[in-house]
Amino acid sequence: MNGWVLALALAALGVLQRWLLSTWGLKGLSYTRRFSRNTAFTGEEAEMIEVIRNDRLFFIPWLRAESRISPNLRLGRQENLAVSGERYHKSIFTLRPYQQITRRHRVRLLKRGEYDVGNVALTAGDLLGMGGKGLELYTPARILVYPKLLDDRGLPLPVSRLQGDLIVRRHYVSDPFLVNGIRDYRFGDPVRDIHWPASARMGSLQVKTHDYTADTKLLAVINVQMSENQWGELMEYEQDMIEHAISIAATVCARVLRAGVAAGFAANMPMGESETITLLPPERHSAREEELLAAFAKLRILRCRNFLSFLDDLSFLRGTDMLILSAYTSEAMEEKIARLKQLGNTVTLHLLEKEEKAA
């Protein structure tokens, strides 16, 4: 008889607990997820940080947080964490009243892109292991993964030579921002060049002298097509070549910007949610490298415009050094390139090879 009473009491307790969990289990809970950094380069690591807090006088035997994770974000294995097929992330928590738990998961960033892992499904369960109340929520958890930047050995010879030429040509024209000394004032010198403190010391007007720079500017251009008539998305094995082209373009842009040369980027593929071509004309300012790296990270490998028509779109450029990265060339493409040269641009065409794949 006592056994039946105990069994009934346990059953009643289980029913009560189940009711309490379904009614109050997720009330008073707060859950956030974020990355330890907003941007990173391909191959680097970041931390995905989960923080869950129970703000009620209520014990939660277990709570599961589930979400879909891109296979390009590789999470390390650890206790209370399961990753199914490297696509689904699952964390299990046990929460005492007014307890907060913070977990940090190491994430290796395998491929450039824009990743958002903020959609999370929470499920609270009872001591018997049965699921209770469920809730879906969104918490901002984004990371922008830049393409891998290459060293000298990773840059094809024509590309590295172009980069060197651009940096050398920087010393052709007087640059008002590069001061290398002072001299006596001469008739016709601009007033803005007068060095007033030196003039006061010398007792006569002195003017600044400048180093020289060319008004050089680079536009890296990527052709996403594998052939002249290709349309739409590329096969996975074809995408590796374009990923390598993106790394080449990103590396050259970053290097010439650091040397004081204006840089830009163009491609016949869209960026982010856009459905149109990508075109960022050459500029030079303190945030330019970050702008271009973000654009490279957001590129979608998808042709949205025929490359020959795309080259026509670039005919507004004058005096620009253009680096074209393409898997092929053709007579029609050579004619378009000749037209760009006639407009006062210099054009270097680098043909990508099958061996050139993203590292």
Lowest mean pLDDT among 97-111, 115-129, 143-157: 115-129
Which homologous superfamily is 27-146 in?
Answer: Immunoglobulins (2.60.40.10)
Residue 13 vs residue 115, higher pLDDT: 115
The stretch 18-40 carries a mean pLDDT of 77
Separation in Å, CA 97 to CA 53, 59, 100: 9, 5, 9
* pLDDT recorded at residue 59: 81
Cβ distance 80 to 92 under 8 Å? Answer: yes
Number of other residues whose CB lies within 10 A of the CB of residue 217 = 22
**Rounded Cα distance, 214 and 177, in Å:** 13
Buried b (16+ CB within 10 A) or exposed e, 333-356: beebbeebeeeebbbbbbebeeeb
The stretch 315-334 carries a mean pLDDT of 93
pLDDT tops 70 at residue 341: yes
Confidence category of residue 28, pLDDT binned at 50, 70, 90: confident
* pLDDT recorded at residue 359: 47
The residue ranges of every structural domain in the chain are 27-146, 152-170+214-351, 180-213
Cβ distance 306 to 268 under 8 Å? Answer: yes
Q: pTM (2 decimals)?
A: 0.77
pLDDT tops 70 at residue 267: yes
**Rounded Cα distance, 134 and 65, in Å:** 10
pLDDT tops 60 at residue 40: yes
* pLDDT recorded at residue 155: 79
Of all residues in the chain, the percent with pLDDT exceeding 70 is: 76
152-170+214-351: what fold? Rossmann fold (3.40.50)
The DSSP bridge pattern shows strands 100-109 and 45-54 to be antiparallel
pLDDT tops 60 at residue 188: yes
Instruction: Please identify which residue in the block is written with the tokens 């209520």.
Output: 58
- Alpha helix ranges (H) inside the chain: 2-24, 157-168, 196-202, 236-258, 288-298, 307-313, 331-342
